[in-house]
Amino acid sequence: MKLNTKYHGVREYEEKDILSFKKGLPGFEGLNKFIIFPVEDNEIFSILHSLEDDSIGLVVVSPFYVIKNYEFKLEDEKIDELKIESPEDVLVLNTVTLNSAIEKITVNLKAPIIINIKNKLGEQIILDNPNYSIRHSLFEK
């Protein structure tokens, strides 16, 4: 299958690549189907792209690139909702806010996107942890 994105050209994907977000994402509640693909010539960033709106693609990064010991506990209810059986099934990503000034690029560590890569289910959650902010600088000085 092909996705003709607004900013990233044509992307090929298969049915097995589709991630389902039953609740959508905050700000995009009506969008439930996404795929992930890497940003060309970049090992750090990926794009979480909607299959239902070709203009919606979020830049994401692993929080472990930003903070090596990033951690949180998922509630049992959330583990059941996402059908998580083991930690190895989980991919954690955080959204990036781009800026033309590299020192102003930020990562939202407060609201990670949790994806069960085995069952292709995802949800963005809000952490109740004062150590993580919505606008954490990606590149420290």
11-66 residue pLDDT tens: 999 999 999 999 999 999 999 999 999 998 888 999 999 999 999 999 999 999 99
SS (H, E, C) 19-73: EECCCCECCECCCCEEEEEECCCCCCEEEEEECCCCCCEEEEECHHHHCCCCCCC
What are the residues whose beta carbons fall under 8 Å from the beta carbon of 25, sequence distance 6 or more?
31, 58, 113, 124
Domain count, the chain: 1
CATH of the domain at 21: 2.30.290.10
Give the Cα separation of 107 and 36 in Å (integer).
17
Predicted confidence (pLDDT) at residue 139 exceeds the cutoff of 90: no
The pTM for the full model equals 0.94
Q: Residue 93 in 3-state DSSP?
A: strand
Q: What is the domain range of residue 105?
A: 2-137
